[in-house]
Copies of this chain bind each other. A is one copy, B any other.
Amino acid sequence: MKAMTIRDFGGPEAFELSELPKPEVKPGHVLVQVAATSVNTIDMMIRQMGKDLPFAPALPAVLGMDFAGTVVAIGDGVTEYAVGDEVYGCAGGLGELQGTLAEYMLADARLIARKPKNLSMREAAALPLVGITAFEALTRAGTAKGQRVLVHGGAGGVGHIAVQLARHFGADVYATGGADEQLSMIEKLGAAGINYKTESVTDYVAKHTDGAGFDVIFDTVGGANLINSFDAAALNGQIATTVSLLELDLSMAHFKGLSLHVVFMLIPMIHDHGRAVHGQILGELANIVEAGGLRPVVDEHHFGLSDAGKAHERLASGQAMGKVVVEI
């Protein structure tokens, strides 16, 4: 089969088109003919800095985690799927798991679900990693009807899904962005936009919450921005983030009695821990998508398998509006 591989970790030029043996199906797995895969920041991090990441794949490697495709073979013990089923998931591209930049991939059946019927392969491939991340963040933070929810980075890959899911959960949603295009996208998705470059935390907390703070904050920017999240949180507020690789002053979290939830959605793949939960979440997301409550936004640029490096460059440019997808 055709696949894009890297021999060494490095820039987007590291990809090369290769011919690899088609994987054989294993117990508990399905073999999928990949129709599309989307690019996530973590794919770029592994490509660039894989030698510093304990969960990076051995070289040469096929990268890529998200996919949508069609089941072509069923492993022993798998009863939920049949050949011909259209499925989607986030199931490869690290450790010993072959990635999605290939014509075929082996996927642990617990990590996947049926593709939402009303999405194209291109759209469905955009959803798994960001959808699972947003779902986990908002549910661990106990997002509920009537709450005020702030999403930092509301036009990003994870953020634009989180805005829609928080609305689906019945919350009043606010989201930050730093450019007109981002704020316009946030408002189209049903949230009030906040320009973090021109509005201070104190200002937007006063404007949108009468100074009380937000009940739930999903900080998809994370890192040093977490201080802004602490500052914007209500008493006993809930903060979820995807990035906490830093030393942080927790005094404000103390006096406000906050909860901080760190979402690291690779854990089931890396540690084979809780994989079935990811399949269940993808099943729930498919229901929400089919009910009209959620739709991934896909960047207008099209890429084929041999353009994987260009797709990485597109995401790195910061110019993409929505997820960057590669069609195989």
A14–B248 CA distance with the chains assembled, in angstroms? 37
Known: A235-B273, A236-B274, A249-B247. A262 touches B254 (CB 8 A): yes
Interface size band for A: 20 to 34
Decide if A264 touches B254 in the complex (CB within 8 Å).
yes
Q: Which of A242-278 contact B (CB under 8 A)?
A: 243-251, 253-265, 267, 271, 273-274
**27 CB < 8 A contacts A-B:** A235-B273, A236-B267, A236-B273, A243-B254, A244-B250, A244-B253, A244-B254, A245-B251, A246-B250, A246-B251, A247-B249, A247-B250, A248-B248, A253-B260, A253-B262, A254-B264, A255-B264, A256-B264, A256-B267, A257-B262, A257-B263, A257-B264, A257-B265, A257-B267, A259-B259, A259-B261, A259-B262
Name the residue among A249, A258, A260 with the largest chain B CB count within 10 angstroms: A260
Q: Is A140 in contact with chain B by the CB < 8 A criterion?
A: yes
Decide if A248 touches B247 in the complex (CB within 8 Å).
yes
A274–B262 CA distance with the chains assembled, in angstroms? 26
Contacts of A262 in B (CB 8 A): 250, 253-254, 256-259
A257–B303 CA distance with the chains assembled, in angstroms? 33
A250–B247 CA distance with the chains assembled, in angstroms? 6
Contacts of A273 in B (CB 8 A): 235-236
Decide if B264 touches A140 in the complex (CB within 8 Å).
no
Contacts of A250 in B (CB 8 A): 244-248, 262
Contacts of A243 in B (CB 8 A): 254
State the main secondary structure of chain A at its contact with B.
Answer: mixed
Q: Which of A222-253 contact B (CB under 8 A)?
A: 235-236, 243-251, 253
Contacts of A265 in B (CB 8 A): 257
Contacts of A249 in B (CB 8 A): 246-247
Contacts of A245 in B (CB 8 A): 250-251, 254
A88–B250 CA distance with the chains assembled, in angstroms? 32
Name the residue among A243, A247, A254, A273 with the largest chain B CB count within 10 angstroms: A254
A200 to chain B, nearest CB (A): 22
Contacts of A271 in B (CB 8 A): 235
Contacts of A254 in B (CB 8 A): 243-245, 262, 264
A248–B233 CA distance with the chains assembled, in angstroms? 19
A158–B132 CA distance with the chains assembled, in angstroms? 37
A115 to chain B, nearest CB (A): 26
Across the A-B interface, the 4 shortest Cβ-Cβ residue pairs: A257-B264, A244-B250, A244-B254, A259-B261
Nearest opposing residue in chain B for A249, CB measure: B247
A244–B246 CA distance with the chains assembled, in angstroms? 16
A78 to chain B, nearest CB (A): 25
Nearest opposing residue in chain B for A251, CB measure: B245
A255 to chain B, nearest CB (A): 6
Contacts of A259 in B (CB 8 A): 140, 259-262
Name the residue among A236, A247, A267 with the largest chain B CB count within 10 angstroms: A236
